Amino acid sequence: MKSHIAVLPSSGMGHIFPLFQLAKKLVLHHDVHVSFLVITTEASAAQNQFLQSSAAVLPDLTIINLPPADVSNFITGDMRLATQLSIITRESLKPLNHILMELNPMSLVIDIFTTDAIDVCKELSIPVYSFFTASTVLLPFSLYLPMLDRKVEGEFVDLPALVEIPGCRSMRTEDLLDQVKDRKNDDYKWFLLHVSRLPNTSGIFLNAWEDLDPVRLKALNENPFFKNIPTPSIYPVGPLVKETETLTEKDAQIISWLNTQPRESVLYVSLGSGGTLSSKQIIELAHGLEMSQQRFILVARKPTDHEYLRCVFSVGKDRENDPSAYFPDGFLDRTRGVGLVVPTWPRRWRCSATRRRERFYRTLWVEFDAESLVHGVPMIALPLYAEQRMNATMLVEEVGVAVKVAAEIGEEVVGREEIERAVRVVMEGEQGKVIRRRAGELKESAERALEDGGSSYRSLCSFLDDLRIQGM
C-alpha cells in the first residue's frame, strides 16, 4: 500500500505553488498518494484557475476543497495580510478534525499560516511537518523570535545595533520583515504565534538546497541554541519550481515575440503573485525602463496606493486592466517593439521562457524566487513587503546573484535614474558579467541537488524514511 500524506497550504499563490510542487514530487518520484487540502474561503481567481487546470490533474493526487467559512464578522478593511490569512485559516479549519479522521494520512504538511492544524493533529496522533515557503534567511530569525520577544523591550526597529541570530549573519533592523516592525499590531502577534509553534512539528521543509545557504543550514542543525529549542529535523528539498504547462494562444504569442529578440537581451519585470506598486512607483519604473533602452517584458498590474499585498485575494481578476490608464503618457507607443506589456497575472509561459536563458532575464524581483535561481537568471531586487528586504540582502551580499534598487533617503519611491542604473548594471556592465556567471554556477548547483542522489533528493528520501519509522 502506498504511503498517504496530506498537504495543507494557506491561501495565496506563494503558498499554493510550492506546496503543490512538493506534492507532485512525492507523487511522481516517490510513489506517494497525496491529499491536497485547499482553503477556499476568499480564494483568488488565480488559485481557482490553477487548481482546476490540467496541471493539477495527477493520478494519486487528490484535491479536497475545504468548505468556505463565513469570515464577515472577523475581517475588517484595515487588517493587514498576515492577520487576514490567519483568521481565514482559523475559521476554515474548523472541520479539519473530521476530514483527517476520514483520510487517515500518515502525516500532514502545513505552512506558516496553517499552524492551527498542529493541535488537531496532536489529538489524532498524526505527525505534522511544516513547509517553510520563505527563504532560509527568515527561518533562523523566526525560530529565534520568541527569545527576542522575551529579551527586548520596545520595538525591534529601534535597537541601536544589529540583530544577532545564533550562528548566522547579523541582521540590520531596516531589513526586518514587516510583520515584526510593530509589536502592538495583530500581524506581529499572529506571526509570533505561528513561529512559536514550529518546534512542535516533526520536521521543517525548506525550498532551498545545501549549497544555497550552507551557513544558516549548519546553524539550524548544529548551533547549540537551535539544538536546545529543540529545532525539528530540517529538510532542504528545493528548489521546487513550477513546470512547463500547455500554452494558450496568447502565451504562444509572447514566446514568439521572445524568439525574435537577440540573444541575452530581454528583461523580465514582474511583481510576483502578490505585490503591486503605487501609482508614483509604476511611473518611475516605466521611465527607468525606457531610459535604460533595454528590451523588456513587463507584467503590468493596476497600481494601488494602499497595502502592497491587497491583490493576494484578487490576483487573476485583471480583466479590466488597461495599462494606458496608469503608465506615463506615450510610454506604450514609445516602447512598442522594444518592450512588451502583458496586462495580466503571469501565466505559465514565464516558466518556458525562463528555461531558455539565451532569451530571458528576470529583472525586477520581489519574492524569494527559486525559479530564477534554478534557471540561472540574475535578478534586480525591488523589495516591497514581508521578508523581501532580508532576501534582497542575502541575494546581493551573500549569494551574489542580484543587484538591489533603493529609494533615496527620505523618499518612498525608487527613482527612474536608480532603476535605469540597476538595469544597465545587470545587462551591460562588468558587475553584471560577474552576477551572471555566479547565477550560472548556482543553476548547476541546483540541478545537481535535484537529480537522483543529489542533496535535495536525499533530503526528501530521508523525510520519507523518518516518517515510515514513526509509523512502525
Question: Mean pLDDT for each 10-residue chunk of the chain (472 residues)?
Answer: 94 89 94 96 85 79 96 90 94 98 97 97 97 94 98 96 96 94 96 98 96 96 97 95 66 81 84 77 95 91 68 57 91 94 61 44 50 80 86 93 89 93 89 90 93 95 89 57
Separation of alpha carbons 125 and 118, rounded Å: 10
pLDDT computed for residue 166 by the predictor: 97
CB 372 within 8 A of CB 379: yes
pLDDT computed for residue 215 by the predictor: 97
pLDDT computed for residue 274 by the predictor: 61
Which of the residues are catalytic? 15, 111
- Candidates 341, 306, 340; CA nearest to 323 is 341
- Candidates 182, 170, 118, 113; CA nearest to 141 is 170
Q: Sign of the CA dihedral 451, 449, 29, 370?
A: negative
**Phi and psi dihedrals of 402, rounded to 5?**
-145, 160
Q: Distance of alpha carbon 164 from its chain centroid, rounded? A: 24
Separation of alpha carbons 231 and 254, rounded Å: 46
pLDDT computed for residue 351 by the predictor: 44
- Candidates 472, 460, 470; CA nearest to 34 is 460
CB atoms within 10 A of CB 152: 13
pLDDT computed for residue 199 by the predictor: 97
- Candidates 383, 389, 391, 396; CA nearest to 438 is 396
Cell 497550504 belongs to residue: 9
CB 111 within 8 A of CB 138: no
- Candidates 237, 242, 241; CA nearest to 207 is 237
Radius of gyration of the chain (CA): 22
- Candidates 368, 435, 433; CA nearest to 399 is 435
- Candidates 191, 238, 194, 240; CA nearest to 217 is 238
pLDDT computed for residue 311 by the predictor: 57
Report all structural domains of the chain as residue ranges with CATH numbers, in order of start. 3-242+451-471 (3.40.50.2000), 249-446 (3.40.50.2000)
Torsion angle (degrees, nearest 10) of CA 410, 362, 312, 192: -70
CB atoms within 10 A of CB 76: 9
In this structure, the strands spanning 339-342 and 361-365 are: unpaired
Separation of alpha carbons 219 and 141, rounded Å: 11
